[in-house]
């Protein structure tokens, strides 16, 4: 077998996410590319959690409808996922808690005999699974040494007991490929921001970007960045603007609800021309919605958030490599063009786990910011041809640096003069045009498949993973606009020339990208939408796209 | 730099008799004094909210961050955290800091952010032409409460003491000498300095007679005594007539947010090596 899918399930609090990561690392160690989808309700203890880990020879970013193994730490893992089982799916289960066929592991007895705490049940079942999948003990040992640092000896003992209980059922063939770092989308975004020059990160916890806050806070223990968690998202945004004014490249992170609170400050970023980056991880809305599930329903919100008219950048990376490259790019573009930028992710991307190929994560080259020259002649909002006023932050020798949320003159002093207001509005408009040129010069539309292919699939954001495979299987061309504002309209028109049919895939009900395309003169022939908080499994999307194209 | 005119040529639009003029002179004199002491004017930043008070950002010829309503304080705190060498002065209104943005005020005090917050407490929304604020007395007849408010004011001095402010003073715009002294002391104080300034609003709430009659300067008061400070804070509740103390209520030495961050400064600065290290850990 050269591709494998494993479901591991248990109660919230069983550490399913971590166990899933260990399984992913087992596959990584034997040369596979991995992807993990983690499904959990918004509970700390008690509800049912599961992770689907998929490993394949090529790059992947989606899960399948069926799995080859089910690792069941609770009865729900067998009952709830009957539809995921095939005739030959192997169930590895906890003898005491689960009634099933397959490989029963006497986890309670083993833990008791080894004097191990209940959480180590995970290690036990992973050990049994490794044997059942024909993964060598040495591989497991190596992965545990790296990934399970706490109580390693005891975890290994418990895993060995599980390993010895099981028998090989379906062998996954080791590949001779390189291993890759295995990271979450949030981590890819965080690393991209660091790459782009991040100095300061400010956030209030909110799924699905809380883990980005946790990740960067941990990074800040070693690396010279500042991470701060203030009283609320209004404070977050205003702190970010203060910090950016004082010369720090600053990003914030949130989800839709938090971004609602940030929009007044976001609009101030537009008026005061203070750059800032917002990592906006979408989840199922409206309102509190499904806090731990996915959606792509904040595209129009991101594009229009904030009163008044001002240029902004919105990028929607589709996998870990793009998350790295475009987070770096978004930060640098925000500072070059002095605009607020949004990195639009979602639960699938942010909390999805990917094999990360750094060679593929090449961040587009972007020229440095326009810097001002200190001195008494400096004005923060100097009117220039491209609309960008050279930037300075205090202290700057003999310069008075005034930023203002009111309409203002070149010096930053409030004005209500009609001609000045118009001139400044036009300055900001020119800045937007400059941003558009910068975006056009970048690979802002990602293309896959040969141009000769008749039909095209359009996607945005995290559905890239599943769409890439569907497009490959059905021989379609794939078009993914990565920058969604300002939209690279010309590149999209070029990509969509020809007589073929065009299908748009989105995880929202109104067809937000489709509407955006229509506004820009791009008509499509059909669409596939999903809005139940769950990402598309590969087979389902493939069948639905086939239907639309038929 | 020393030749810099501290007042911009922006047209001043405060009403005649407005207490903001006194605050402006006090700030100008204070900044001049700081300059003479050796603080470069380039190192000073003023942050304001939105309201009559906030025009200070336009009128003073120093670095400024003219924020949005209620949100001067988080911006000011972040500027100081980003660069602790800057002197950050924050001018906020009572509507601004006590209504729209009370959360930020309390948290800045809790963290002992090393900024100076001056509240232009005219006890009315001036710019929006006369509505009640959290410090308007009970029964205040404003445009949104024509029959008089039905709620008592809160006492910002008590709130600040409860929140951890390490410097607490009250000023009055018709006592400029004392006001200026409080502002200078506040700026010199290491930590969160809070000054509630009873500011005359000539157009919507002119309480000159009331204040003139009741204010007195704190003497024989030990500002290091928290309980005594609480007592002085409670003496006048912003509602019922009582003696109104002016001057420094409380002063305490405590580590600031910026001190705590400075201690934590990390070694690694090379971005590529940090990225490499993390990716290696995750492979
Ligand atoms: C979010 C928001 N809400 C309301 C306003 C309208 N507004 C402007 S100033 C102000 C009140 C000002 O009162 P205060 O802060 O006491 O300042 P003063 O004018 O008295 O100095 C209000 C409500 C606004 N600018 N922004
Ligand atoms: S309305 Fe009141 S606070 Fe505003 S400028 Fe006039 S007098 Fe001053
Ligand atoms: Mg007021």
Pairing of strands A526-529, A502-506: parallel
Q: How many CA atoms lie within 13 A of A467 on its CB side?
A: 27
Nearest alpha carbon, ligand 1 atom 23: B128
- Whether A67 contacts A6, CB under 8 Å: yes
Q: How many CB pairs under 8 A join A and B?
A: 171
Angle at the Cα of A487 (from A326 to A273), degrees rounded to 5?
Answer: 70
Q: How many CB atoms lie within 10 A of CB A257?
A: 17
- Whether B179 contacts B28, CB under 8 Å: no
Nearest alpha carbon, ligand 2 atom 8: B18
Query: Do B276 and B245 share a structural domain?
Result: no
Rg over CA atoms, chain A: 25
Directed axis angle between helix B102-111 and helix B72-82, to 10°? 30
- Whether A403 contacts A274, CB under 8 Å: yes
Alpha-carbon distances, residue B28 vs A447, B31, B57 (angstroms): 60, 5, 12
Query: What is the DSSP secondary-structure string of A509-550?
Result: SS-HHHHHHHHTT---SEEEE--SS-PPPHHHHHHHHHHHH-
In the reported structure, the alpha carbon of residue A215 is separated from the centroid of ligand 2 by a whole-number distance in angstroms of 48
Decide whether any atom of ligand 1 lies within 6 Å of the B52 Cβ: yes
Nearest alpha carbon, ligand 2 atom 6: B15
CA distance B6 to A301: 43
Q: How many CA atoms lie within 13 A of A333 on its CB side?
A: 34
Query: Do B190 and B68 share a structural domain?
Result: yes
Strand order in the sheet with A4-11: A103-105, A85-94, A67-72, A4-11, A48-56, A33-39, A353-355, A182-184
Task: Decide if B10 is inside a domain.
Answer: no
Task: Decide if B82 is inside a domain.
Answer: yes
Alpha-carbon distances, residue B115 vs A403, A483, B195, B257 (angstroms): 19, 40, 11, 10
CA distance A167 to A132: 5
Contacts A242 to B, Cβ<8 Å: 47, 65, 74-79, 82
- Whether B101 contacts B91, CB under 8 Å: no
Task: Decide if B8 is inside a domain.
Answer: no
Q: Do the chains contact at B79 and A402, CB–CB below 8 Å?
A: no
* Bridge partners for A408 per DSSP: A414
Nearest CA in chain B to A238: B75
| B281 φ, ψ (degrees, to nearest 5) | -60, -30
Q: Do the chains contact at B86 and A394, CB–CB below 8 Å?
A: yes
Q: How far is A143 from chain B (nearest CA, A)?
A: 9
Query: Do B238 and B266 share a structural domain?
Result: no
Query: Do B215 and B95 share a structural domain?
Result: yes
DSSP helix/strand/coil, A354: strand
Q: How far is A137 from chain B (nearest CA, A)?
A: 18
Contacts B43 to A, Cβ<8 Å: 394-395
Task: Decide if B90 is inside a domain.
Answer: yes
CA distance A236 to A252: 7
Q: Which residues contact A216 (CB under 8 A, 6 or more apart)?
A: A190, A193, A201, A225, A227
Query: Do B269 and B163 share a structural domain?
Result: no
Q: How far is B97 from chain A (nearest CA, A)?
A: 13
Per the structure, the complete domain to which residue B276 belongs is given by: 254-283
CA distance A342 to A344: 6
What b-and-e string marks burial along A292-312, b requiring 16 or more CB atoms within 10 Å of the CB? bbbbbbbbebbbebbeeebbb
CA distance B181 to A231: 32
In this prediction, residues B214-226 reach a mean pLDDT of: 98
Query: Do B275 and B160 share a structural domain?
Result: no
Restricting to A residues 383-442, those with a Cβ less than 8 Å away from any Cβ of B are 394-406, 408, 411-414
- pLDDT of amino acid A13: 84
The residue count of chain B comes to 283
Q: Is the pLDDT of residue B121 over 90?
A: yes
Query: Do B213 and B93 share a structural domain?
Result: yes
CA distance A546 to A470: 9
What b-and-e string marks burial along A147-177, b requiring 16 or more CB atoms within 10 Å of the CB? bbeeeeebbbbbbbbbbebbeebeebeeeee
Number of domains composing chain B: 2
Place B265 in a pLDDT band, splitting at 50, 70 and 90: low
Q: Do the chains contact at B275 and A194, CB–CB below 8 Å?
A: yes
Residue in B52, B198, B205 to alter for ligand 2 test, most ligand atoms within 8 A of Cβ: B52
Q: What is the pLDDT of residues B124-165, one digit of tens each?
A: 999 999 999 999 999 999 999 999 999 999 999 999 999 999
Nearest alpha carbon, ligand 2 atom 1: B126
> Pocket residues for ligand 2 (CB within 6 Å)?
B 14-15, 18, 20, 52, 122, 126, 201-204
Nearest alpha carbon, ligand 2 atom 2: B201
- Ligand 3 (ion): residues with CB under 5 Å are B 93-95, 122
A339: enclosing H helix or E strand: none
Closest by CA to B155, choosing from B219, B255, B236, is: B236
Contacts B45 to A, Cβ<8 Å: 246, 394
Query: Do B201 and B170 share a structural domain?
Result: yes
Q: What stretches in chain A show pLDDT beneath 50?
A: none
CA dihedral A396, A400, A403, A408 (to 10 degrees): -150
Positive or negative: CA dihedral A11, A14, A19, A20 = positive
Query: Do B159 and B62 share a structural domain?
Result: yes
Q: Which residues contact B148 (CB under 8 A, 6 or more apart)?
A: B138, B139, B140, B141
- pLDDT of amino acid B41: 97
Where would I find the H helices in A343-388? 347-351
Query: What is the DSSP secondary-structure string of A196-260?
Result: HT--EEEE---TTTHHHHHHHHHHTTTBS-EEE--SSHHHHHHHHHHHHHTT--EEEEE-HHHHH
Task: Decide if B5 is inside a domain.
Answer: no
Restricting to A residues 258-277, those with a Cβ less than 8 Å away from any Cβ of B are 264-265, 268, 272
- pLDDT of amino acid A45: 72
Query: Do B92 and B215 share a structural domain?
Result: yes
In this complex, which of A226, A238, A412 lies closest to B71 when CB atoms are compared?
A238
- pLDDT of amino acid A177: 86
Q: How far apart are the first and last CA of chain B?
A: 55
| Interface residue B265 vs chain A (CB under 8 A) | yes
Task: Decide if B64 is inside a domain.
Answer: yes
Decide whether any atom of ligand 1 lies within 6 Å of the B123 Cβ: no
Q: Which atom of ligand 2 is nearest to the CA of B55?
A: 5
Q: How far is B112 from chain A (nearest CA, A)?
A: 13
- Which ligand sits nearest to residue B128's alpha carbon? 1
Q: What is the pLDDT of residues B32-82, one digit of tens each?
A: 999 999 999 999 999 999 999 999 999 999 999 999 999 999 999 999 999
Q: Do the chains contact at A200 and B82, CB–CB below 8 Å?
A: yes
Strand order in the sheet with A200-203: A226-228, A200-203, A250-254, A276-282, A340-346, A313-315, A483-485
Closest by CA to B45, choosing from A231, A408, A199, A399, is: A399
Q: How far is B65 from chain A (nearest CA, A)?
A: 5
Q: Record the pTM.
A: 0.97
Alpha-carbon distances, residue B201 vs B30, B48, B195 (angstroms): 22, 18, 17
Domains of chain A, first to last: 3-165 (3.40.920.10), 201-442 (3.40.50.970), 445-549 (3.40.50.920)
Q: What is the largest CA-CA distance in chain A?
A: 83
In the reported structure, the alpha carbon of residue A413 is separated from the centroid of ligand 1 by a whole-number distance in angstroms of 18
| Interface residue B65 vs chain A (CB under 8 A) | yes
Task: Decide if B101 is inside a domain.
Answer: yes
Question: Residue with structure tokens 């005061």?
Answer: A272
A327: enclosing H helix or E strand: helix A320-337
Decide whether any atom of ligand 1 lies within 6 Å of the B133 Cβ: yes
Query: Do B123 and B54 share a structural domain?
Result: yes
What are the tokens at A514? 């489709």
A50: enclosing H helix or E strand: strand A48-56
CA distance A363 to A191: 12
Question: Residue with structure tokens 């395309």?
Answer: A517
CA distance A71 to A19: 10
CB-count exposure of residue B2 (10 Å: 0-12, 13-18, 19+): exposed
Q: Do the chains contact at A405 and B68, CB–CB below 8 Å?
A: yes
- Whether A373 contacts A232, CB under 8 Å: no
The 3 state secondary structure assigned to chain B is CCCCCCECCCCCCCCCCCCHHHHHHHHHHHHHHHHHHCCCHHHEEEEECCCHHHHHHHHECCEEEECCCCCHHHHHHHHHHHCCCCEEEEEEEHHHHHHHCHHHHHHHHHHCCCCEEEEEECCCECCCCCECCCCCCCCCCECCECCCCCCCCCCHHHHHHHHCCCEEEEEECCCHHHHHHHHHHHHHCCCCEEEEEECCECCCECCHHHHHHHEEECCCCCCCCHHHHHHHHHHCCCCCCCCEEEEEEEECCCCCHHHHHHHCCCCECCHHHHHHHHHHHCC
Q: What is the DSSP letter of A42?
A: S
Place B1 in a pLDDT band, splitting at 50, 70 and 90: very low
Task: Decide if B2 is inside a domain.
Answer: no
Nearest alpha carbon, ligand 1 atom 16: B95
| Interface residue B36 vs chain A (CB under 8 A) | no
The CATH number linked to B31 is 3.40.50.970
Q: What is the DSSP letter of A134?
A: T
Query: Do B241 and B283 share a structural domain?
Result: no
Q: Do the chains contact at B280 and A181, CB–CB below 8 Å?
A: yes
Q: Do the chains contact at B85 and A395, CB–CB below 8 Å?
A: yes
């Amino acid at each position: 077998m050269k591709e494998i899918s494993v479901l591991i399930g248990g109660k919230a609090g069983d550490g399913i996410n971590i166990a899933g990561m260990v399984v992913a690392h087992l596959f990584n160690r034997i040369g596979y590319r991995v992807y993990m989808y983690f499904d959990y309700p918004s509970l700390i203890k008690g509800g049912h959690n599961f992770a689907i880990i998929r490993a394949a020879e090529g790059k992947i970013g989606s899960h399948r409808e069926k799995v080859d193994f089910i690792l069941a730490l609770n009865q729900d893992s067998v009952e709830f996922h009957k539809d995921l089982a095939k005739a030959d799916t192997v169930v590895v289960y906890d003898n005491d808690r689960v009634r099933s066929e397959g490989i029963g592991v006497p986890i309670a007895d083993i833990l008791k005999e080894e004097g191990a705490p209940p959480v180590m049940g995970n290690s036990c079942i992973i050990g049994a699974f490794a044997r059942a999948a024909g993964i060598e003990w040495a591989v497991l040992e190596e992965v545990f040494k790296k990934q399970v640092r706490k109580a390693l000896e005891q975890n290994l003992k418990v895993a060995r007991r599980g390993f010895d209980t099981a028998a090989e059922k379906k062998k996954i063939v080791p590949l001779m490929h390189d291993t890759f770092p295995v990271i979450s989308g949030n981590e890819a975004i965080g690393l991209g921001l660091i790459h782009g020059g991040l100095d300061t990160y400010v956030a209030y916890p909110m799924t699905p970007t809380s883990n980005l806050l946790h990740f960067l806070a941990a990074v800040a223990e070693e690396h010279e960045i500042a991470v701060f968690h203030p009283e609320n998202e209004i404070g977050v945004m205003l702190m970010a603007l203060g910090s950016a004014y004082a010369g720090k490249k600053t990003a914030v992170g949130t989800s839709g609800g938090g971004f609602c609170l940030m929009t007044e400050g976001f609009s101030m970023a537009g008026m005061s021309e203070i750059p800032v980056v917002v990592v906006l991880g979408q989840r199922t809305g409206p309102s509190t919605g499904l806090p731990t599930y996915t959606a792509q329903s904040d595209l129009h919100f991101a594009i229009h958030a904030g009163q008044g008219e001002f240029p902004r950048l919105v990028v929607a990376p589709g996998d870990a490599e793009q998350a790295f490259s475009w987070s770096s790019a978004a930060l640098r573009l925000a500072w070059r063009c002095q605009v607020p930028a949004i990195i639009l992710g979602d639960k699938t991307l942010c909390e999805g786990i990917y094999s990360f190929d750094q060679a593929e994560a090449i961040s587009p080259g972007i020229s440095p910011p326009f810097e001002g020259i200190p001195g008494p002649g400096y004005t923060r909002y100097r009117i220039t041809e491209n609309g960008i006023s050279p930037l300075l932050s205090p202290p700057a020798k003999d310069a008075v640096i005034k930023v203002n949320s009111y309409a203002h003159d070149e010096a930053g002093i409030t004005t209500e003069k009609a001609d000045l207001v118009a001139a400044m509005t036009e300055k900001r408009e020119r800045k937007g045009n400059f941003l558009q040129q910068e975006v056009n010069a970048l690979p802002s539309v990602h293309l896959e498949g040969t141009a000769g292919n008749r039909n095209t699939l359009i996607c945005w954001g995290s559905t890239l993973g599943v769409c890439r495979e569907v497009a490959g299987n059905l021989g379609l061309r794939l078009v993914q606009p990565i920058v969604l504002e300002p939209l690279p309209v010309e590149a999209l028109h070029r990509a969509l020339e020809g007589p073929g049919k065009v299908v748009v895939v989105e995880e929202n009900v109104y067809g937000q990208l489709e509407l955006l395309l229509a506004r820009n003169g791009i008509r499509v022939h059909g669409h596939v939408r999903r809005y139940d908080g769950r990402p598309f499994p590969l087979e389902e999307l493939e069948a639905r796209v086939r239907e639309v194209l038929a | 730099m020393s030749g810099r005119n501290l007042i911009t040529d922006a047209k001043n639009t405060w009403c005649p008799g407005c207490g903001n003029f006194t605050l402006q002179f006090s700030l100008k004199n204070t900044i001049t004094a700081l300059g003479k002491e050796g603080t470069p004017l380039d190192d000073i930043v003023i942050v304001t909210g939105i309201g009559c008070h906030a025009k200070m950002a336009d009128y003073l010829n120093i670095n400024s961050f003219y924020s949005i309503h209620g949100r001067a304080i988080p911006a000011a705190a972040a500027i100081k955290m980003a660069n602790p060498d800057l002197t950050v002065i924050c001018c906020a209104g009572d509507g601004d800091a006590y209504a729209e943005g009370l959360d930020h005020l309390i948290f800045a005090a809790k963290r002992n952010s090393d900024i100076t917050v001056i509240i232009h407490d005219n006890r009315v929304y001036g710019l929006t032409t006369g509505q009640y604020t959290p410090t308007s007395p009970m029964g205040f007849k404003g445009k949104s409460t024509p029959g008089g408010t039905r709620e008592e004011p809160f006492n910002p001095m008590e709130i600040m003491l409860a929140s951890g402010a390490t410097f607490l003073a009250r000023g009055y715009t018709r006592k400029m000498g004392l006001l200026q002294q409080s502002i200078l002391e506040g700026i010199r104080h290491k930590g969160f300095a809070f000054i509630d300034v009873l500011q005359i609003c000539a157009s919507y709430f002119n309480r000159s007679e009331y204040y003139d009659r009741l204010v007195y300067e704190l003497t024989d008061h030990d500002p290091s005594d928290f309980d005594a400070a609480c007592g002085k804070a409670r003496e006048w509740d912003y509602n019922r007539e009582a003696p109104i103390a002016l001057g420094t209520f409380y002063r305490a030495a405590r580590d600031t947010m910026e001190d705590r961050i400075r201690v934590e400064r990390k070694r690694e600065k090379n971005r590529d090596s940090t990225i490499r290290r993390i990716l290696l850990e995750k492979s």
